[in-house]
């Protein structure tokens, strides 16, 4: 197990729920930017509220702010022509992470995606969470939604902002290096490679309007970045440490839930030693694999006393957890990482961990409301006697997921 994350206690962290809270805060920060916007997202969709974010990026670039946008090659299709032209004309620099190519996802190495959602403004303000640039009432596959997705992000000031900025800067210049090499521009590639390892330049102290920052505070927080090189298990290990230390309560809300054996055993062990363990999971059908492959793991969890709720009004997209919010050592995380093989073994992810009583209590209250008023609790007896067709689909999906893991050579 790798060393625990390094915490600093100079942070102010504000919890944001859904795009109705996240987008206005993000747009306001971009409109106040004076030097630099670094932005990474899996999905960038210009429908409804997403258009507000796109407009803010264009306004910032047009007034001379260095504006870098990185989107994933699977999550984000080609931007609409009109939007792409406007971004180019304004000076927004857009890069696509890991374009699929002619064979698409048939190549296992293409399963490694950029799934983290990060935005740093002027080197002083960080947004991190699970929310894409995708309006909560719009879905590319299902159209208009009657109720908003359940998802969260945080707005942060403090030490970890620079850590996020440097990680984003390195990824940007590594992508630029690959692009230069592909164009046979070797001198430019060498300059890009050097830039990837240089310290991101500081910005003026006056940058970022102070009215946009979370209230000053001394909140303990750490940033967990998952990659496929040095930090392959950081997020999963943080979950396991927190669950293993839990004394009273564990609440996890996760969109795509298929934890590996060690994480499942940690949840079962917590429940058996008297910790109340509650899971809020996806209740609406979205994708065959993610929906059905999760259900075979419910049995052992329910047998151990874990409470499982499925979110009913709309799609659940949250990737958050809170442990012992009302105890002496509160722990909470908000980020992009699902508890499934794609996130924990293959994707670039980013989670923020916060050890603060007020923050943990706020997140706990919102999850309590969702479980009690918008969740359906799974009855163990009903689960055991679900229709044979459902059980068959569950086993097929679970088997396909195990086969995919075997193809990648990963142990889970």
- CB neighbours of residue 321 within 10 Å: 27
The DSSP secondary-structure symbol of 210 reads G
The whole-angstrom separation of Cα 373 and Cα 259 is 26
- Which regions of 283-344 does DSSP assign to beta strands (E)? 307-311, 319-323, 331-335
Checking DSSP bridges between strand 93-97 and strand 143-144, what pairing results, if any?
unpaired
- Residue pair 38/172 in contact (Cβ under 8 Å)? The answer is yes
Catalytic residues: 115, 117, 122, 317, 319, 324
Contacts of 171 (CB under 8 A, 6+ apart): 40, 70, 97, 114, 348
The whole-angstrom separation of Cα 235 and Cα 333 is 10
The whole-angstrom separation of Cα 185 and Cα 192 is 11
For 349, phi then psi, to 5°, come to -130, 160
């Amino acid at each position: 197990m790798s060393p625990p994350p390094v915490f600093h206690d100079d942070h102010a962290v504000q919890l944001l729920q859904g795009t109705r809270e996240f987008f206005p805060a993000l747009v306001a920060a971009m409109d106040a930017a004076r030097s630099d916007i670094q932005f990474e997202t899996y999905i960038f969709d210009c429908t409804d509220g997403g258009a507000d974010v796109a407009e803010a990026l264009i306004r910032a670039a047009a007034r001379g702010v260095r504006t870098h946008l990185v989107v994933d090659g699977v999550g984000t299709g080609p931007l609409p022509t009109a939007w792409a032209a406007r971004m180019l004309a304004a000076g927004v620099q857009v890069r696509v992470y890991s374009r699929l190519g002619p064979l698409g996802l048939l190549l296992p190495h293409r399963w490694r995606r950029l799934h983290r959602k990060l935005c740093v403004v002027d080197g002083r303000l960080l947004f991190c969470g699970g929310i894409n640039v995708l309006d909560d009432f719009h879905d590319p596959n299902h159209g208009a939604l009657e109720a908003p997705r359940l998802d969260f992000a945080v707005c942060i000031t403090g030490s970890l902002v620079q850590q996020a900025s440097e990680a984003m800067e390195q990824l940007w210049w590594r992508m630029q290096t690959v692009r230069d090499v592909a164009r046979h521009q070797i001198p430019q590639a060498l300059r890009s490679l050097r830039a990837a390892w240089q310290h991101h330049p500081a910005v003026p102290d006056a940058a970022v309007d102070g009215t946009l920052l979370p209230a000053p505070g001394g909140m303990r927080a750490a940033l967990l970045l998952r990659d496929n090189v040095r930090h392959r298990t950081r997020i999963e290990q943080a979950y396991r440490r927190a669950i293993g230390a839990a004394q009273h309560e564990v609440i996890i809300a996760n969109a795509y839930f298929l934890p590996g054996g060690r994480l499942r055993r940690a949840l079962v062990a917590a429940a058996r030693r008297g910790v109340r363990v509650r899971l809020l999971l996806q209740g609406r059908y979205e994708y065959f694999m993610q929906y059905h492959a999760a259900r075979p793991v419910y049995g052992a969890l329910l047998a151990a006393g874990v409470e499982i709720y499925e979110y009913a009004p709309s799609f659940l997209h949250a990737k958050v957890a809170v442990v012992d919010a009302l105890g002496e050592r509160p722990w909470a995380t908000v980020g992009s990482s699902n508890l499934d093989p794609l996130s924990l073994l293959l994707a670039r992810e980013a989670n923020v961990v916060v050890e603060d009583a007020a923050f943990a209590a706020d997140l706990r209250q919102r999850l309590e409301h969702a479980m009690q008023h918008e969740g359906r609790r799974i009855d163990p007896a009903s689960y055991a006697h679900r229709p044979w067709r459902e059980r068959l689909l569950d086993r097929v999906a679970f088997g396909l997921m195990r086969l995919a893991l075997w193809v990648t050579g990963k142990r889970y």
